[in-house]
Amino acid sequence: MSSDIVITVENLSKCYQIYSSPRDRLKQFFIPNFQRAIGSEPRNYFREFWALRDVSFEVKKGESVGILGRNGSGKSTLLQMICGTLSPTAGSVETKGRIAALLELGSGFNPEFTGRENVYMNGALLGLSGHQVDDRFDAIASFADIGDFIDQPVKTYSSGMLIRLAFAVQVQVEPDILVVDEALAVGDALFQKRCFRRIEKLVSDGTTLLFVSHDQESVRTLTSRALLLKQGRTVTWGKSSDVVLEYRRQLHDEESSYFTAATKQLAAKAQAAATPEPPADSADQPAGSSDTVSPAAAPRSDKLSFGDGEVKIVKVETLNGEGQDSTVFFPGDEIRVRITCEALRPVTNLNVGVRIRNKEGIKIYSWGTLNQDMRSRASASDVPMFWEKKFSAGETFSVELSCDCPLGMNLYEIQATVTFEETPDYMAQRVLHWIDEAAFFQVLMNRDVNFFGGVADLRMNAKW
């Protein structure tokens, strides 16, 4: 292992034996050995389940790596093998340095011991002496912020208190490798903020981070590289923003497949109700008519876009207040984003919107025509709703979204979207076309006219 490589995973695999009944487990213990003894081919009474298969990657010292994937994709299994609490079936994993891990809520805590006793016990497990824990105890108790409960048995703690104490112990030992597996989702918003701030400090000081979360924005902003797993196998490994995009596309495709199957089932039930006695030879016919559009079968535009394909975004332009093409703006300037779409089939109930991110990947703002429609409905306005507009197949239409620029100096990315909204309230949405990096613009600043720091101009005033 190279000196700057702290985690090396090579062809790592984990297989579990699944038995249909306890009787089969007992048979597996005796019968195959007997069959081998008499020279027969042994028979297995289990089926194999590969929780992880042929996963390989390397992590450098001080690097922050996110691990993404749906439930059951093998994320926790991978982390447990890296931490050494689970043995691999095949492959190898090597680590260098002290590992602190938050894998399961309260793992390593004795419920009968007090919080104080568990702090000392966990410190010993992490290789700290009693004097070293003494030196760190005040910092641990302060970070956990559980008050007098520190001297109460852990079994009386809430889940939030438990994760506070567990995280406080792990980060105060200043590990070489910190592993966090969805544990922070339990804490409240203020505690999560403190945890992320502490994690960022540890990473800046050279700690290597393995971070598992379903929060895509946290993975994008907190990690530099990421691994996407699906059914125990590597889907992609690379820059976090690229991996998050692939994960988002994967979730959309799976959601489309689910809703397509559900639609077919409902169509089949409706057809059966309308025809009580169908002909015998129709039982094997597929549900739905021949002109039904299958969202899952719709083409994808390119690697930066996805959607069901009933409407496609043709062009995204940034314009100034006079309607001229522009990619450079100053605070206070009018920014217009023109999104041109084409309907590929008759459609209504649309929402055309944007999502704006800065070059660090932080989402600054998201808004769409539906937001304006909702505002109109709330005020009982008689302004026509875009959501109610109907578009015919082949029709091309444009929407301009505009605002006065309140942004700080930076480079900004526009993600453009057109979605189908079953109800005008964002409660039932289906993506028809989404484009990452649909357009870019830059905000500069004239220091003599309007100068401020940060991501946005709050337009403060001073009085004295």
CATH assignment at residue 216: 3.40.50.300
Q: pLDDT tens across 286-315, in order?
A: 333 333 333 333 333 355 688 888 999 999
Distance CA 143, CA 141 (A): 6
Distance CA 414, CA 395 (A): 24
Q: Which residue would you say has higher pLDDT here, 166 or 281?
A: 166
* Helix (H), strand (E) at residue 195: helix 189-204
Type of residue numbered 183: A
Q: Which residue would you say has higher pLDDT here, 122 or 354?
A: 354
Task: Answer whether residue 254 is part of any domain.
Answer: no
Q: Write out the two tokens for 8.
A: 């090396």
Distance CA 114, CA 301 (A): 58
End of a domain among 225, 246, 267?
A: 246
End of a domain among 246, 269, 287?
A: 246
Q: What's the DSSP call for residue 261? A: H
* Helix (H), strand (E) at residue 433: strand 429-443
C-beta atoms surrounding 374 within 10 Å: 16
74 and 198 in a single domain? The answer is: yes
327 and 224 in a single domain? The answer is: no
Distance CA 44, CA 27 (A): 9
Q: For residue 152, which of 109, 191, 189 has the smallest C-alpha distance?
A: 109
Q: Write out the two tokens for 226.
A: 């990421």
For residue 283, what pLDDT is reported?
Answer: 39
Over residues 211-220, mean pLDDT:
82
Q: For residue 84, which of 102, 74, 99, 97 has the smallest C-alpha distance?
A: 99
Q: List C-alpha distances in Å: 45 to 16, 18, 24, 42, 352.
A: 13, 9, 6, 10, 55
Over residues 348-360, mean pLDDT:
91
Task: Answer whether residue 289 is part of any domain.
Answer: no
Q: pLDDT tens across 131-180, in order?
A: 888 888 888 888 888 888 889 998 888 877 888 888 888 777 778 898 88
Q: pLDDT tens across 57-94, in order?
A: 999 998 999 999 888 888 888 998 998 888 999 999 99
319 and 208 in a single domain? The answer is: no
Task: Answer whether residue 116 is part of any domain.
Answer: no
337 and 232 in a single domain? The answer is: no
Distance CA 76, CA 86 (A): 10
Task: Answer whether residue 268 is part of any domain.
Answer: no
Q: Is the pLDDT of residue 400 over 90?
A: yes
187 and 336 in a single domain? The answer is: no
Q: What's phi and psi for 324, nearest 5 deg?
A: -95, 150
Are residues 334 and 324 in contact, defined by beta-carbon separation less than 8 angstroms?
Answer: no
Give whichever of 124-128, 201-205, 261-265 has the largest mean pLDDT.
201-205
SS3 for 226-266, per residue? EEEEECCEEEEEEEHHHHHHHHHHHHHHHHHHHHHHHHHHH
Over residues 248-268, mean pLDDT:
66
Task: Answer whether residue 396 is part of any domain.
Answer: yes
Type of residue numbered 160: G
Strand partners of residue 179: 101, 210
Q: pLDDT tens across 314-330, in order?
A: 999 999 999 999 999 99
End of a domain among 246, 264, 283?
A: 246
Q: Is the pLDDT of residue 384 over 80?
A: yes
342 and 420 in a single domain? The answer is: yes
321 and 438 in a single domain? The answer is: yes
Residues whose CB is less than 8 angstroms from the CB of residue 190 and which lie 6 or more positions away in sequence, other chains included: none
316 and 434 in a single domain? The answer is: yes
Task: Answer whether residue 284 is part of any domain.
Answer: no
Q: What is the CATH number of the domain that holds 358?
A: 2.70.50.60
Residues whose CB is less than 8 angstroms from the CB of residue 353 and which lie 6 or more positions away in sequence, other chains included: 366, 367, 368, 369, 370, 371, 401, 416, 417, 418, 419
Task: Answer whether residue 282 is part of any domain.
Answer: no
Query: Is residue 282 helix, strand or coil?
Result: helix
234 and 86 in a single domain? The answer is: yes
75 and 191 in a single domain? The answer is: yes
Domain membership of residue 82 as a residue range: 5-97+176-246
Task: Answer whether residue 257 is part of any domain.
Answer: no
Give the pTM.
0.62
Domain count, the chain: 2
328 and 425 in a single domain? The answer is: yes
For residue 107, what pLDDT is reported?
Answer: 62
